[in-house]
């Protein structure tokens, strides 16, 4: 089926020591979706640094790939029709 490629950003939000509690984010303002390019991810990091002013920024950008295994609703509706 379809493979969705995106970038996720992780950080410890200025001092979290437990790796399992890292923040994974990709939002921009009130909208939250993952950036599709590395340059867009870097732009979001710069905006976050400007807004939150953490003393230490330890962000990391992770390329991810998600495989969608189910058809979308429109694909299902437009799929092959069974003839009786």
For the chain, what are the domain ranges?
2-77
pTM of the model: 0.71
Between the CA of residue 69 and those of 2, 34, 72, 79, what are the distances in Å? Answer: 7, 19, 9, 15
Mean per-residue pLDDT pooled into runs of 10, the chain (84 residues)? 89 77 74 87 90 88 93 87 63
CA 13 to chain centre: 17
Rounded to whole angstroms, the maximal C-alpha distance in the chain is 68
């Amino acid at each position: 089926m379809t493979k969705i490629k995106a970038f996720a950003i992780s950080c410890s939000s200025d001092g979290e020591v437990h790796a399992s509690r890292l923040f994974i984010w990709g939002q921009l303002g009130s909208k939250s979706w993952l950036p599709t390019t590395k340059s867009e991810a870097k732009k979001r990091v710069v905006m976050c640094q400007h807004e939150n002013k953490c003393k230490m920024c330890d962000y990391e950008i992770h390329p991810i790939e998600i495989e969608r295994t189910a058809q979308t609703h429109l694909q299902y509706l437009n799929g092959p029709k069974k003839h009786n």
